[in-house]
Structure 1
Amino acid sequence: MNKFRRTLVAMGVAVIASLGTTTVKAQVFKAEEPLAHTYSIVARDPKTGEMAVGVQSHWFSVGTAVPWVEAGVGVVATQSFTNKSFGLRGLALLKEGKTPEEALAILLADDEAREVRQVSILDAQGRVATHTGDKCIRYAGHITGKNFSVQANMMLTDKVWPAMAKAFERSEGQPLAERVLLAMQAAEREGGDIRGKQSAALVVVKGQKSDQPWDDKTIDLRVDDHDQPLVELARLLKVYRAYEHMNAGDLAIEKGQMQKAMEEYGKAEAMFPNNLEMKYWHAIGLANSGQVEEAAKILRDVYKKDPNWRELTTRLPEVGLLDVSKQQMEKLLK
């Protein structure tokens, strides 16, 4: 453990001790526990009902500690001297019918380390409650608004979370994930975490729970260790959007809507023109719809860059992913 982390841990223990002699027994910060001094945002899109958590920190894999989400229920961000139990417990309290304010009060009531905690809870109705302990390392604070809350601790300046709130409010009308990312980018422009940056995460869930809970988390992006985590997070979100277009193109082909399919594939490839995966499956979709000449043209370019794709093409008919005649296959492999 480096000197700075040892200092943080020692400071945490000292803070706890100052809150009461019984606290040291109840809560001792260990080196392996996340000291997620950070900035984050919890937010909801009133039109779609989607809810999200976005977070960035100078801490490894912050996405494993701060964001907790459940479709149709709410989202929680727990940070500073992180109490990860606040995530699952907070969501459970919301499911019991508690408001975010009531849930937050219950979580903090028996937490003798509450003054070094920072936590925000938002429910599926857009109600939000946030707590910043008096002993969170400055600069620390939060702003709650309609359908969102921004919170930060150990920031370079006290302008970080106001900038986040302003950026989120000004981005109304854009998709929720992009709005959350814009808020975090605004935080970074104001200096962000005084220590710098290392990891980031963006999680989005549906507003209503479905009978297929494995699909209720629509976006789950993490950058665990990177010198520019928000830049990488933005790239990953762009990749996600590109593959949304690919999926839409595949669906359009299944429905015989070739014009729409070409539009969707075109949007995906425009976003990532050098992505061979997108080019390849675009071509296979065309081939399956009878446009073999156009498919072969795209495949020739793919094969030049990586001949393994040609071998993959030979394997698709046996599993039903490519349905063409022998003559057409020869054209596709040429």
Structure 2
Amino acid sequence: MTFSLVVRDEATGAFGIVISSSSPAVASRCAHARAGVGVVATQNVTNPALGPAVLDALAAGADAPSALAQVLAGELFPEYRQVTVVDAAGRTAVHSGANSLGINTHREGENAVAAGNLLADEQVITELLDGYSTSSAASMEERLLDGFRAALAAGGEAGPLHSAGMLVVEDVPWPVTDLRVDHSDDPLGELAGLWDVWRPQKNDYRVRGVNPTSAPSYGVPGDE
């Protein structure tokens, strides 16, 4: 019921994820990223605790395959879990349990992993990764959306999508982009619309956190 793409930008070290599902509020359970550490998607029959646990293992020095193996060793139901990881060196890892739903598959690329379950076709995951990696967009967010668009054009999930999210971390401890569509008949369209609103303000909000004395105005009445 979910497909996702987790990536690391080799030039900047930023991490990002785009994810969509027929279930509501998918990003709140399944998208996990930590600046300077890594990015994780936890999906299929989701255990949201796996994401922070893998990130903690990465932060403690494990690489992506070791961190995933370490966390899954303590998971009671690994056969129900689908988990993807990219670490700070761009190494990747993926686990698709035997009870992953419907048509399920994954593809590992350079600094990236795409995976999904209950897919319309396995080609969806190939197009998800290729749509991102061949995008010429300047921002990671737009490249992630290009991957999402390509996956939908290839058929997406077996059923209708209802939620989506996009999470990006860069060089500050908080997400620089964290956009979610929790329930909609057009999650891609609404996520792209949220990005259009957020894009021109993204750096302003970063500056406000780093150095409010040089931050631009809020653009509200009384703010000079």
Q: Is the 8 A contact 2:176 2:202 kept in 1?
A: no
The one of 8, 12, 20 equivalent to 1:48 is 12
- Given candidates 118, 132, 138, the residue that maps to 2:102 is 138
- 5+ residue gaps, structure 1: 1-36, 249-253, 256-260, 262-277, 282-308, 323-334
The alpha-carbon distance between structure 1 residues 246 and 97, as it changes in their structure 2 partners (threshold 3 A), is: closer
Report the Cα distance in structure 2 between the residues aligned to 1:246 and 1:106, rounded to whole angstroms. 39
Q: CA deviation at 1:134?
A: 2.6
Cα deviation for residue 227 of structure 1 reads: 0.6
Residue 223, structure 1, aligned to residue 173, structure 2: no
Question: Residue type of the partner of 1:205?
Answer: V
Does the residue aligned with 2:193 lie in a helix, a strand or coil?
Answer: helix
Spell out the pairing of 1:175-190 with structure 2 (5 A cutoff).
175-190=139-154
Aligned pairs, number: 216
TM-score by length of 2: 0.89
1:70 pairs with 2:34: yes
How much is the aligned-residue C-alpha RMSD, in angstroms? 2.3
Match of 1:168 among 122, 132, 137: 132
1:129–1:185 Cα change, 3 Å = same
Deviation of 1:113 (Å) = 2.1
Shift of 1:72: 1.0
Matching of residues 29-108 of structure 1 within 5 Å: 37-108=1-72
Whether the 8 Å contact between 2:177 and 2:202 is mirrored in structure 1 is no
Amino acid in the other structure paired with 1:72: G
CA distance in 1, matches of 2:167, 2:186: 18
Give CA deviations for 1:152-190 in whole Å, capped at 9, x if unaligned: 100111211011121112115631111111111111111
Structure 2 unaligned segments of length 5 or more: list them. 207-212
Quote the Cα distance in structure 1 between the aligned partners of 2:140 and 2:8: 7
The answer to whether residue 74 in structure 2 is matched with residue 110 in structure 1 is yes
Q: Which amino acid aligns with 1:111?
A: E
Q: Hey, which bits of structure 1, 4+ residues long, moved more than 6 A?
A: 245-248
Q: Which has the bigger relative contact order, CA under 8 A and spacing at least 6?
A: 2
Percent of aligned positions with the same letter in both sequences? 33
Tell me if the contact between 2:131 and 2:146 (Cα under 8 Å) persists in the aligned partners. Answer: yes
Amino acid at match of 1:238: D
Higher strand share: 2
Q: Given the superposition, is the C-alpha separation of residues 217 and 150 from structure 1 closer, same or farther in structure 2, using an over 3 Å criterion?
A: same
Question: What's the CA shift for 1:199?
Answer: 0.5
For 1:110 and 1:98, how far apart are their aligned partners in 2?
Answer: 16
Matched position secondary structure for 2:56: helix
Instruction: Please say if residues 45 and 80 of structure 2, whose CA atoms lie closer than 8 Å, have aligned partners that are also in contact.
Output: yes
CA, structure 1 residues 98+177, in 2 after alignment: closer, same or farther (shift >3 Å)? Answer: same
Whole-Å separation in 2 of the counterparts to 1:104 and 1:247: 33
Cα gap change, 1:149 to 1:245, in 2 (>3 Å): closer
- Tell me: CA distance 1:243–1:144, structure 2 relative to 1, closer, same or farther (3 Å): same
Deviations 1:83-108 (A, max 9, x none): 11111110110011011100111122
Letter in 2 for 1:192: G
Q: Rate the CA distance shift 1:51–1:245 in 2: closer, same or farther, 3 A.
A: closer
Note the C-alpha offset of 1:146. Answer: 0.5
